[in-house]
A = this chain, B = another copy of it.
Amino acid sequence: MKLITRDTDYAIRALCFIARRQKGLTSVSELVSVLGIPRPFLRKLLQTLNKKRLVKSYKGKGGGFRMARLPRKIIIADLMRIFQGPLKISEHVFKNSPCPERKVCKFKQKLDVIERYVVGELKRINLESIL
C-alpha cells in the first residue's frame, strides 16, 4: 500500500534542503553528501524538477539549483503526480479487470470516498508546511 515512491520522497528531501538555503545555489554534490542519495538518481530527479519548473538550474562551474518558486507554492500532490502519475487510488483495479457492475460497484464507491479525502489532503501539504 504504497502512497509515496522513493523518487518522490527523495525529491521532497532535496527540495527541503534547497529551500532552506535562502540564497545561492545548491549543487548535486552537496545534496549527495548531505542526503546520501545516489548521485545519478538525484541528478535525474533534479533534471525533472527543473523541466517542471519547480527549481531553476544553472549550468557550468559553480552552477547548481535554486527554488523556482516559494516553498508554499510547491504542493506535495504535484510532486507525486510528476513522479508517480495520476493521483488515483482505485483506478488500476477497475481498469485492468473491470468489475461487471462497475458503475454501481459499492466497493468502488467507498474507495472513491477515501480517494477524494486522500487527494484532498495531499493537495493541502506544501513544502513550507513541512520545512
Interface residues of A (CB under 8 A from B): 1-6, 9-10, 12-13, 35-37, 76, 80, 84-85, 87-90, 92-93, 96-97, 99-100, 105-107, 110-111, 113-115, 117-118, 121-122, 125, 129-131
Most chain B beta carbons < 10 A, residue from A1, A105, A106: A1
B99 touches A13 (CB 8 A): yes
Docked-complex contact A89 and B37, CB < 8 angstroms: no
Q: Which residues of the partner chain B approach A89 to less than 8 Å between Cβ atoms?
A: 1-4
Interface centre among A3, A35, A99, A100 (most CB of B within 10 A): A3
Given A37-B97, A121-B113 in contact, is the A92-B2 Cβ separation under 8 Å?
yes
Which residue of chain B lies nearest to A5 when distances are taken between CB atoms in the complex? B93
> CA separation between A131 and B104, bound complex, in Å?
11
Distance A97 CA – B96 CA, assembled complex (angstroms): 31
Closest A-B pairs by Cβ, 9 of them: A106-B130, A3-B89, A107-B130, A9-B93, A4-B93, A114-B121, A110-B125, A1-B89, A114-B118
Closest chain-B Cβ to A29's Cβ sits at a distance in Å of: 18
CB <8 Å contact, A111 and B1:
no
Contacts of A36 in B (CB 8 A): 97
In the bound assembly, the distance between CA atoms of A36 and B1 in angstroms comes to 25
